[in-house]
Amino acid sequence: MLTSSPLSHLSEVESWSSSKDLRSGALASNHRTSFSSSISDSDLPRGQGVEPAYSFVGMHCIFDQCKSAVTVLKFGHMSSDLLAYGASDGTLTVCNVSDPPTVINQLQGHSKDVTDFDFSSNNQYIASSSADKTVRVWELSKGLCIRVIYGVSPQLCIRFHPVNNNFLSVGNANKEITVFNFSTGRVIAKSIFDSEVTSMDHDHTGHLIFCGDAQGCIYSVTMDSRTGALSRSHRYRSSSKQKFPITTVQYRSFSLLAGGPVLLTCTKDGSLSFFSVALEVQGYLTLRCSLKLTPRIHSIRASFCPLLSLNKGEYIVAGSEDSNVYFYDLTRPKHTCVNKLQGHRFPVLVVAWNHGENFLASADLYGVVIVWKRAKTS
């Protein structure tokens, strides 16, 4: 059932910036009343066809070498063919999905779950974080680990700086984001948060980090691109009584719906939230819409779908406990689910698009990775 309510009833936003008036006209012009909706994963539209932009011709290839849960899955930067995935057995597998699909390397070194990884901008390196309390840097051409950074708690999320790849930001279970020098492994900067930092993403300029914690809070953090210094600017806190970890934080530089940059978040209980981002106010977030999916047992991540210039919707793709991949239009009050892909036999935990937006990869609880080929659209 669709419900509309003012933002003040849904959330609490705190800011650490006194130089900007958050109620200025510039920010208020971006404000819209949000809507929220609750659906089951299988709530496909009745009497409607599949959203044509997200129809698929079938499976392009399957990788099944891994025998444990795939925890994180990504294509290389600006790459349509390079794919990597980390697993709960500590391995990282690097693949090429072009014909013929091949496994390039299996990187072994972590002793516990790979919690996250990121490609460097030139795709020559991968930096990975793990529950074994380490960060590892891998040189892909040699398939070797070239640096190990030891922490005091599980390392939960990791990102290269999008402009200065010598900065590596890592969120950990010790309630910190630590910025390391990629070349030396030394700590450059550190910022403390209210709970474990479970997910993060940079904006396209590298001046902002958006991160989520284990209590469902989302933070906007400014970063000095020269020194790596961090400063918390805003905190968004849901008014929900139950607090769940943030599993996904994903930034996009433009959205037709918001007319500017946006942020997607997903919590472990299956709550998707879509925010507009005010870059001029240090990453202030305004909730545009939200969607409550079926409660999850596992930690499932979501992703934006490719931006379609002829569509006014805002499309999201996510895995599900029922082994399907679902596509949602967050702007639809009813029949939010617009398509689903069936092929996995176990809960689908992670999904990722390639740069060319013609392949979608999904991975499940038992290590199977499926690369789906999207139908060509005019």
pLDDT tens digit string along 193-235?
999 999 999 999 999 999 999 999 999 999 999 999 999 999 9
Cα-Cα-Cα-Cα dihedral sign, residues 280, 284, 288, 294: positive
Tens digit of pLDDT at every position of the chain (378 positions): 222 333 333 345 565 543 333 333 333 333 333 444 555 555 554 445 566 667 899 999 999 999 999 999 999 999 999 999 999 999 999 999 998 999 999 999 999 999 999 999 999 999 999 999 999 999 999 999 999 999 999 999 999 999 999 999 999 999 999 999 999 999 999 999 999 999 999 999 999 999 999 999 999 999 999 999 999 999 999 878 889 999 999 999 998 888 899 999 999 999 999 999 999 999 999 999 999 998 888 999 999 998 765 566 789 999 999 999 999 998 887 888 999 999 999 999 999 999 989 999 999 999 999 999 998 765
Question: Hunting for tokens 């290839």 — which residue is that?
Answer: 61
Question: Hunting for tokens 């940079």 — which residue is that?
Answer: 202
Distance CA 207, CA 282 (A): 9
Provide the pLDDT for residue 108. 97
Provide the pLDDT for residue 310. 52
Upper half-sphere CA count for residue 37 (Cβ side, 13 Å): 21
CA 194-247-319 angle, 5° bins? 165
DSSP state of 185: -
Provide the pLDDT for residue 307. 73
Q: Tokens for 33, please give them.
A: 């009343």
Q: Tokens for 293, please give them.
A: 């999916």
138 neighbors 126 (Cβ within 8 angstroms) = yes
126 neighbors 140 (Cβ within 8 angstroms) = yes
- Provide the CA 339 distance to its chain's centre, in angstroms: 20
103 pairs with which residues across the strands? Answer: 95
Provide the pLDDT for residue 191. 98
156 pairs with which residues across the strands? Answer: none
Provide the pLDDT for residue 41. 56
Question: Hunting for tokens 């040189």 — which residue is that?
Answer: 139
Whats the size of the chain, residue-wise?
378
375 neighbors 97 (Cβ within 8 angstroms) = no
Please tell me the CATH code under which domain 56-374 is placed: 2.130.10.10
Residue type at 121 in one-letter notation: S
190 neighbors 201 (Cβ within 8 angstroms) = no
Query: What is the H or E stretch that residue 265 is in?
Result: strand 260-267
- Provide the CA 327 distance to its chain's centre, in angstroms: 15
Provide the pLDDT for residue 186. 95
